[in-house]
Structure 1
Amino acid sequence: MHAKDTRSGSPLTGSPIRALPGNYEQELADAHVPDHIRPWLAESGVGALVVKLGIVFEELSAERSVATMPVEGNTQIAGILHGGASAALAETLGSFSATLHAGPGKIAMGIDLNATHHRPASTGVVRGVCTAIHLGRTTTSHEIVIKDESGRRLCTARITNLLRNLPQEVAQAAR
């Protein structure tokens, strides 16, 4: 699949939050962040939790985002995928999509996340597909469906994000 930003004529520039200066080129490549989105994340990377969970992006846009995550390394004591790992995958997809919708100079902040866990997974890779429900001026809502390699639904999540302007000094530094 090819990642894309479907907003017309609106290239992403600047980072929503400036991290300490660093070289995130390899981190962005390892997470398969699409080339056109890399300038947006150049100063912050994808985040330590995304790296730790092994999340790899296949597609990123405001309307639809897709990523995979290995079960191994993300299990709870019973040897099955940790519900918190599923929730983190869902929040990652929904928050990235919301931030892409918000555009430069804005940030998405999660205000509600809920997840229903339908069945366990103990091996393989899971795939989360995030679909926009509402893309507004001040809020967004996305549904995230996480399935196993056999296509069985493991988790259904929904996230609502509040869209806010970045503080003036952060927005200026991101330019």
Structure 2
Amino acid sequence: MQLSKEEFLIKANTICKNTLMETLEIEMVDFGDDYLIARMPVNERVHQPDGVLHGGATAALAESVGSFASHLFIDTEKLFVRGLEITANHLKSVKDGFVYAKATFLHKGRTTQLLDIRITDDADNLISICRLSTISLPKSL
């Protein structure tokens, strides 16, 4: 029995309990055949001392949504995903509201994946552009 989109998102967010994603209040909000979208509130918990979104929190959002997207498209009975490298170019500051991370695949190989992750704000302004490479490895050797 295949889960509906709503059921899948509930399950996805449930497995993020007691993780960094819960700490940063990252929530998976939408997905399709080739993308996954997550959001994170921008508040004092993810601010730099001067009151704007911390780049490290942005990178954590990007890695979370990108790794989760890779996880969606593999056989999780046999494989697990790990991040290999992340880059982030921060283009604009955000003080409040939400930021949204949309992960799309540039390469979806059997072993390695490359994702483009665009972070936008509530007004759809581009905040950061990130790239994440992941690897799928066997659960047992």
Both proteins in one fold, TM over 0.5: yes
Q: In the TM superposition, what whole-angstrom CA distance separates every residue of 1:103-148 from its partner, at most 9, and x where no partner exists? A: 2221111111000000110111111111111100110011110011
Aligned partner of 1:92 in structure 2 is 64
Equivalent-residue separation in structure 2 for 1:41 and 1:166 (angstroms): 23
Task: State percent identity of aligned pairs.
Answer: 28
Aligned partner of 1:49 in structure 2 is 20
Structure number with larger C-alpha Rg: 1
Instruction: State yes or no: 1:158 paired with 2:131.
Output: yes
Aligned partner of 1:116 in structure 2 is 89
Relative distance call for 1:124 and 1:38 in structure 2 (3 A) is closer
Partner secondary structure for residue 49 of structure 2: coil
CA deviation after TM superposition for structure 1 residue 67, in Å: 1.0
Equivalent-residue separation in structure 2 for 1:56 and 1:40 (angstroms): 9
Equivalent-residue separation in structure 2 for 1:131 and 1:166 (angstroms): 25
Equivalent-residue separation in structure 1 for 2:121 and 2:93 (angstroms): 9
Equivalent-residue separation in structure 2 for 1:92 and 1:162 (angstroms): 14
Relative distance call for 1:102 and 1:83 in structure 2 (3 A) is same
Q: Aligned match of 2:122 in 136, 149, 152?
A: 149
Partner secondary structure for residue 72 of structure 2: helix
* Greater percentage in strand: 2
Aligned partner of 1:138 in structure 2 is 111
Q: Aligned match of 1:75 in 42, 47, 56?
A: 47
Contact 1:63 1:132 in 2 (8 A): yes
- Provide the alpha-carbon RMSD of the alignment: 2.4
Q: Output the amino acid matched with 1:101.
A: F
Q: In the TM superposition, what whole-angstrom CA distance separates every residue of 1:28-48 from its partner, at most 9, and x where no partner exists? A: xxxxx9423666887xx2151
Equivalent-residue separation in structure 2 for 1:122 and 1:40 (angstroms): 27
Unaligned runs of 5+ in 2: none
Q: Output the amino acid matched with 2:54.
A: H
CA deviation after TM superposition for structure 1 residue 99, in Å: 1.2
Aligned residues: 137
Equivalent-residue separation in structure 1 for 2:9 and 2:29 (angstroms): 12
Equivalent-residue separation in structure 2 for 1:41 and 1:76 (angstroms): 26
Relative distance call for 1:62 and 1:85 in structure 2 (3 A) is farther
Contact 2:13 2:28 in 1 (8 A): no
Unaligned runs of 5+ in 1: 1-8, 13-32, 169-175
